[in-house]
Amino acid sequence: MAIFNSYLLGKARKSVGNITLCYRNMKNIAQAKVFSRRDNPTPEILEQRARMKVLVQLGRRLLVVVRKGFVGIGKGTTSNAFVALNMGAVSVDGSMVGTVEYTRLKVASGILDVPKVTVSCTPEGNSYSFSQDGEEETEEGLCSAEDCVYAVFIEEATSKVKLLQLKNRGEGGISSFTLPDGWGTEGIHVYCFAVSKNGKMASDSVYQTVE
């Protein structure tokens, strides 16, 4: 703290950088601001940070998927919606390391009806067939024949992601797909969801049990 007289400043009452000027007892006083940080996180906070770290990293890899699957969710970004919804899909061990539970992961969320899709795989484990039931529009407007249906592949070991557009909801039929070179045959997770033709609404995603 310093006491000074200044005809130019008069009765100074302002802050400049980390210095605060004030007038007290008929004197101008300059004193430094005191910055303090209190950071003593609880185990719950540390677990939350571990979950968020894992989900933010995965969300970056899934960005092309998340932008389609979380349209119209609240006022935040689609990435924030993905992280918030999937906090419960990450387990944290005693070392505060988060692990994604892929069977609980949601890559899309919304009010549309979930599409009817089943998935099978060749014995070699790299070719997939998607069988869709043709669906008609409902009176509630949550299911349209023109809805786009998507499949998502995630390779657990590398977090590689592939987004595949299937047949429209009303068509039905079979769509076949072979994983690109460099993908393994183990730890492949598959999800399906629907998006309205105008891209403004989505359904919840469904984790697919591959037959």
pLDDT in tens, 118-148: 999 998 888 999 999 899 888 788 999 999 9
Q: Where do we find the tokens 């249906």? A: 149
Q: Please, which residues have CB within 8 angstroms of residue 141's CB and are 6 or more apart in sequence?
A: none
Query: Any bridge partners for residue 127, and if so which?
Result: 178
Share of the chain above pLDDT 70, in %: 80
Confidence band of 5 (pLDDT split at 50, 70, 90): low
pLDDT single digits (tens) 148-199: 999 999 999 999 999 999 999 999 899 999 999 999 989 999 999 999 999 9
The tens digit of pLDDT for each residue in 46-64 reads 999 999 999 999 999 999 9
The domain ranges of the chain are: 2-32, 43-207
62-76: pLDDT as tens digits: 999 999 999 877 666
Give CA–CA dist 43/91, Å, rounded. Answer: 14
User: Does residue 157 or residue 9 have the better pLDDT?
Assistant: 157
- CATH of the structural domain 43-207, one choice from 2.40.110.10, 3.40.50.300, 1.20.120.80, 2.60.40.10: 2.60.40.10
- Residue 147 and residue 115 in contact, taking contact as beta carbons nearer than 8 Å: yes
> What percentage of residues in the chain have a pLDDT greater than 90?
69
Q: Are 109 and 84 spatial neighbours (Cβ–Cβ below 8 Å)?
A: no
pLDDT number for residue 72: 75
For the chain, strand residue ranges (E) read 2-4, 14-16, 19-24, 27-32, 90-92, 98-100, 117-121, 127-132, 148-155, 160-165, 173-178, 188-195, 206-207
What is the pLDDT, as a whole number, of residue 106?
98
- pLDDT tens by residue, 10-36: 554 555 555 666 656 666 666 665 555
On the 0-12 / 13-18 / 19+ scale of CB atoms within 10 A, 166 is: buried
Which residues, including other chains, have CB under 8 Å from residue 113's CB and lie 6 or more apart? 135, 138, 142, 143, 194, 203
In this predicted structure, what is the pLDDT of residue 9?
A: 47
CA-to-CA distance for 119 and 57, rounded, in angstroms? Answer: 27
> Measured between alpha carbons, how far is residue 121 from residues 72, 130, 163, 186, 193 in Å?
33, 9, 17, 12, 19
Pairing mode, strands 148-155 and 27-32: unpaired
Predicted pLDDT of residue 25: 63
pLDDT at residue 194 in the model: 97
**How do beta strands 2-4 and 27-32 pair?**
antiparallel
pLDDT of residue 77: 86
Which pLDDT value is given to residue 192? Answer: 98
107-113 mean pLDDT: 96
Alpha-carbon torsion angle 65, 143, 114, 118, nearest 10:
-100
Q: How many helices (H) and strands (E) does the chain have?
A: 3, 13
Q: Dihedral of the CA atoms 207, 182, 160, 68 (nearest 10)?
A: -70
